Amino acid sequence: MTVTPNRNLADILLSTSNKYPDKTVIQCSGESYSYKQLLEQACSIALDLEKQGIQRGDRIAIYMDNTWPCVVALFAITMSGAVFLLINPQTKNDKLKYILEDSGSKVLLSDAHLQNVFVDVVNQLSSITDVYCSGNDTKISFTHANYHIFENTVTNNDASLACGSKALGNDLAALIYTSGSTGFPKGVMQSHQSILFSIESLVEYLRLSHSDRIINFLPFAFDYGLYQLFFTVYLGATLILERSFTYPAVVYNLLRDTKATVFPGVPTIYSMLLKSHAKKALTFPDVTRITNTAAALPAEYVSQLQEIFPNALIYKMYGLTECKRVCYLEPELVHQYPSSVGTAIPGTEIFLFDENDKPVKRGGQGILHVRGPHIMMGYWNKPDESKKMLKAGLWPGEKILCTHDLFKVDENGLHYFIGRSDDIIKTRGEKVSPIEVENVLHGINGIKDAAIIGVADDVLGEVIHAYVSLTGDKDIAIKDIKKVCVQKLENFMVPAKYHIVDDLPKSTNGKIDKKMLQVNL
């Protein structure tokens, strides 16, 4: 029997659609779509991209909701050999422009309801040659870009089932943009082989199979959400896709109606679940695995979640975009070691170094480092930032990832997250650059100084607090400041608390002293 290896992300769809052509791959908005449909429609878009001159390595941006067209677009890009980048549909004009410009994207795929944002941005960027738009059969005007109706394109081409990518395993597959300490998002470069390795390692320890039905309401721009799709297609499983967790009752009904078996979430989601459970008992006996990452899952949640998911294994995990996942705790240990995030994922190693770059023994604490095939190639167009994260490894030429996060390791070899050593705030399962929010505040006429800090929270991970001082010649209310933040920032980046002060504390070198702000809370 001939075994065809998965050399790139397109191969996993080719392999699975050959094995399960009529099986449902996506359930979304009351519709079911098969593996055969996904392959055919992805090939159609891929062939059209090639007609527009797209070549291997070109960057293509997806700015869409969690929908069937978004799934098709993603695999179409991998089929074409191009590089995909997913942009959160909450992203506003300035940040969208920055990401498109920084990545050098040639094509944008989006939804019609987002045209009030992307049309103006595309018209400012001569690098965007083509726009594919889903959900609209009327022409949108651009000053230079060609316009394509997504739904027409997937039916107009004679797609061949032999369609496949020419990408090699070590070719760039994706740019996954994540907030950076400089105030600008950074594009994490992941190759086909690094993503494939992560898929296989995670599938192994999560004990997933082709019979699983995975529910996902996390945005694909968040790699935690993206990998739910990758797991599904790799295994030949089914993904129950919802746009968000905005309406919990909708998700609860989906869980029951679809008999979902896997539930990925973040602490904010689990907090909402527990609040609903307190009002009216919830139970989802079909779920066999629940997973948590992005922020620590409070230890007291575990036993309560077991009531809601009585037949589920609970996985506590830790990871970062630069290598997808770092470690996990075996679910059989979750009650015995409720604060731990466990050990390295299969096929990788993790270790702690102290401030002198010396290995830390069990019982000690230090900065966590990661070794394995899953670490990033670097940050797109940011060699200096890449050097800060990628250090010399065990073998000549090898690189290991420095997480810059402080951990401790116990006598059993289990790891515990202590805190972040950089300035990034983690809230609601998302990474927020304080500088990015501060730049918006500084753009408000009448604000003299601004500082953003994260305050520890059991549910959100951290809550964003904004401190501002005024010039004195403007009368600015907190509601006016918040209004600008809502207009300029994604929802999760908008500060929860605002403080107007006479002056912000400064260090001896004149910089704002954020530690003093934390102390004075």
Q: How far is CA 314 from the centre of its chain?
A: 21
Q: 306: helix, coil or strand?
A: helix
Give yes or no for a contact between 305 and 349, defined as CB atoms under 8 angstroms apart.
no
Q: What is the pLDDT of residues 223-264, one digit of tens each?
A: 999 999 999 999 999 999 999 998 999 999 999 999 999 999
Using the predicted structure, report yes or no on whether residue 181 has a pLDDT greater than 70.
no
Give yes or no for a contact between 434 and 383, defined as CB atoms under 8 angstroms apart.
no
Q: How far apart are the first and last CA of the chain?
A: 66
- Which amino acid makes up residue 152? N
Domains of the chain, first to last: 33-190 (3.40.50.980), 245-420 (3.40.50.12780), 425-519 (3.30.300.30)
Q: Distance between CA 92 and CA 189 in Å, rounded?
A: 23
Give yes or no for a contact between 120 and 93, defined as CB atoms under 8 angstroms apart.
yes
pLDDT value for 507: 63
Using the predicted structure, report yes or no on whether residue 518 has a pLDDT greater than 90.
no
Beta strands in 324-410 (DSSP E): 327-329, 343-344, 349-353, 365-371, 378-379, 390-392, 399-409
Q: Distance between CA 151 and CA 448 in Å, rounded?
A: 49
Average pLDDT over every residue of 273-302:
90
Residues sharing a CB contact under 8 Å with residue 338, sequence separation 6 or more, in sequence order: 299, 302
Q: What is the pLDDT of residues 381-390, one digit of tens each?
A: 999 999 999 9
Mean pLDDT of the chain: 91
pLDDT value for 325: 97
Q: Distance between CA 331 and CA 329 in Å, rounded?
A: 6
Q: 506: helix, coil or strand?
A: strand
Give yes or no for a contact between 90 and 491, defined as CB atoms under 8 angstroms apart.
yes
Q: Distance between CA 72 and CA 475 in Å, rounded?
A: 50
Q: Distance between CA 146 and CA 140 in Å, rounded?
A: 10
pLDDT value for 73: 98
Element (H, E) at 50: helix 35-51
Best CA proximity match to 232, nearest among 44, 76, 8, 16: 16
Best CA proximity match to 41, nearest among 5, 77, 4: 77
- 520 — phi, psi (to 5°)? -85, 0
Residues sharing a CB contact under 8 Å with residue 164, sequence separation 6 or more, in sequence order: 10, 11, 14, 79
Residues sharing a CB contact under 8 Å with residue 518, sequence separation 6 or more, in sequence order: 453, 455
Average pLDDT over every residue of 435-447:
86
Better pLDDT: 433 or 264: 264
pLDDT band at 288 (very low <50, low <70, confident <90, very high): very high
Using the predicted structure, report yes or no on whether residue 332 has a pLDDT greater than 90.
yes
CA distances from 502 to 435, 468, 498, 505 (A): 21, 8, 13, 10
pLDDT value for 436: 83
pLDDT value for 521: 67
Q: How far is CA 494 from the centre of its chain?
A: 18
Better pLDDT: 153 or 424: 153
DSSP secondary structure string for all residues of 241-295: E-S-SSSHHHHHHHHHHHT--EEEE-HHHHHHHHHHHHHS----TT--EEEE-SS
Average pLDDT over every residue of 139-156:
90
pLDDT value for 159: 56
Q: What is the pLDDT of residues 66-109, one digit of tens each?
A: 999 999 999 999 999 999 999 999 999 999 999 999 999 999 99
pLDDT value for 479: 92
Using the predicted structure, report yes or no on whether residue 1 has a pLDDT greater than 50.
no
